[in-house]
């Protein structure tokens, strides 16, 4: 399914079409995982997500040289060494994993050349070398010496024109391909933005309109319904003449919000705002709580979640849609007293998905929400790439994708 769909949009070689027998595959993975104070991996989701690609290459008689970054180190910060995750990667892959404390150079090349078929070698943190984030061609050429085939399976960094995600691909004009995870990510986004079954609804949360302008503009070209949640609500509400109390608001964007509403109407897109909100008299889980009409919040109060009438309204809408995109919680879900709107939306999407809709969840906060609420299994697909997914939704070309299709 993934192969057929992606082939309609990209001239590229997919993993299944690439020969791996007796080849060393350089696999760019995204193992930028959280570590605790004991340097133990606390969430191995990204490691598990790369497992199918690595296992496929090994099953075809190849070996894997894994490249990844971890955090944003200043020089060779030992706290951000990938040696801390070797055991977790080995457990996830159910296979031994070797480690090299270099990324490029004679030792790195020697270790890679000695790698036998069926074996895995994890190189040190790419960002120990500042050249990586600069997109340095000489550094990319050194990385390319580590293997004979290049596979990008790191959607989370596909929006960065870094040496290991973009520049390296030019050294493999015929031997480069999408990893299975990267293909699934692009397929899921295309299923919303290019091939989604109508009615299509996008649910956008977030504190500020200014951070979602490009996404909103792009979605107006694609969706039938747009639900606005989070702090963005109050800029739209104020623009429409409502009272928002001390809710987060961007008054300088009120005129722009009105233009968006006008543009949406002209395109036949219905924008849905909450009709009521759960408000607090302080930005705290312990604040006093009241429910107000969304356009009539008194001074001294701030909207912190979608209200019960809004949730009921959104529920009915979501159940009538065939394609659903969710990016951003509806309220301050980190506070249990203001998480009901986000929980409700998640349950509604889960119910719609069970009934046959396709649902895509992406963006750090919304992904965190579905995991925290235990509803992740009810979604069709959860994106592993925050920034990359957002730029995809904005309609931007991702350098890491383009490098594989040129």
Active site residues: 46, 208, 364, 387
**CA separation for the pair 72, 121 (Å, rounded):** 22
Cβ(186)–Cβ(393) below 8 Å: no
β pairing state of 289-293 and 276-280: antiparallel
* Dihedral over alpha carbons 276, 279, 285, 286 (to 10 degrees): -130
User: Strands, E, within 73-138: which ranges?
Assistant: 97-100, 120-123
Cβ(142)–Cβ(167) below 8 Å: no
**CA separation for the pair 188, 163 (Å, rounded):** 26
Q: What is the DSSP letter of 67?
A: E
Q: How remote is the C-alpha of 90 from its chain's centroid?
A: 24
Sheet holding 120-123, edge to edge: 97-100, 120-123, 63-67, 24-28, 149-152, 176-178
CA distances from 324 to 2, 22, 198 (A): 19, 43, 10
Tokens standing for residue 264: 């949406």
Residue 54 phi, psi (nearest 5): -65, -45
Cβ(305)–Cβ(331) below 8 Å: yes
Cβ(61)–Cβ(99) below 8 Å: no
State the DSSP H helix or E strand holding residue 233, giving kind and residue range, or none if neither.
helix 232-239
Nearest alpha-carbon partner for 124 in 148, 140, 108: 108
Residue 374 phi, psi (nearest 5): 75, 25
**What do you get for the CA distance between the two ends of the chain, in Å?**
23
Nearest alpha-carbon partner for 330 in 352, 318, 354, 314: 314
């Amino acid at each position: 399914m993934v192969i057929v769909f992606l082939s309609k949009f990209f001239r590229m070689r997919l993993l299944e079409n690439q020969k791996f027998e007796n080849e060393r595959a350089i696999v760019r993975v995204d193992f930028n995982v959280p570590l605790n104070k004991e340097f133990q991996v606390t969430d191995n989701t990204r490691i598990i997500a790369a497992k199918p690609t690595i296992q496929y290459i090994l099953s075809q008689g190849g070996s894997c040289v894994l490249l990844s970054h971890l955090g944003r180190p200043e020089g060779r910060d030992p706290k951000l060494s990938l040696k801390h995750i070797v055991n977790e990667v080995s457990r996830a892959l159910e296979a031994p994993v070797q480690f090299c404390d270099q990324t490029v150079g004679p030792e790195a090349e020697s270790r890679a050349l000695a790698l036998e078929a069926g074996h895995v070698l994890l190189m040190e943190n790419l960002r120990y070398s500042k050249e990586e984030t600069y997109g340095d061609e000489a550094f990319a050429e050194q990385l390319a010496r580590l293997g004979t085939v290049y596979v990008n399976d790191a959607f989370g960094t596909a929006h960065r024109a870094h040496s290991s995600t973009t520049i390296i691909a030019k050294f493999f004009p015929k031997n480069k391909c999408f990893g299975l995870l990267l293909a699934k990510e692009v397929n899921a986004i295309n299923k919303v933005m290019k091939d989604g079954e109508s009615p299509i609804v996008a649910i956008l949360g977030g504190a500020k309109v200014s951070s979602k302008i490009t996404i909103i503009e792009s979605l107006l070209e694609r969706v039938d319904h747009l639900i606005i949640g989070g702090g963005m609500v109050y800029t739209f509400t104020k623009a429409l003449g409502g009272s928002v109390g001390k809710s987060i608001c961007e008054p300088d964007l009120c005129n722009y919000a009105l233009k968006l509403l006008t543009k949406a109407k002209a395109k036949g897109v219905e924008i849905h705002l909450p009709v009521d909100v759960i408000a607090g008299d302080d930005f705290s889980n312990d604040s006093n709580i009241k429910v107000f009409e969304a356009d009539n919040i008194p001074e001294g109060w701030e909207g912190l979640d979608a209200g019960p009438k809004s949730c009921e309204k959104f529920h009915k809408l979501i159940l009538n849609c065939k394609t659903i995109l969710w990016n951003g919680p509806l309220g301050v879900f980190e506070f249990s007293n203001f998480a009901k709107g986000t929980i409700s939306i998640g349950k509604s999407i889960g119910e719609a998905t069970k009934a046959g809709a396709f649902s895509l969840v992406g963006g750090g906060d919304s992904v965190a929400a579905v995991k925290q609420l235990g509803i992740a299994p009810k979604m069709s697909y959860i994106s592993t790439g925050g920034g990359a997914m957002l730029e995809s939704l904005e309609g931007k070309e991702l350098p890491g994708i383009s490098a594989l299709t040129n």
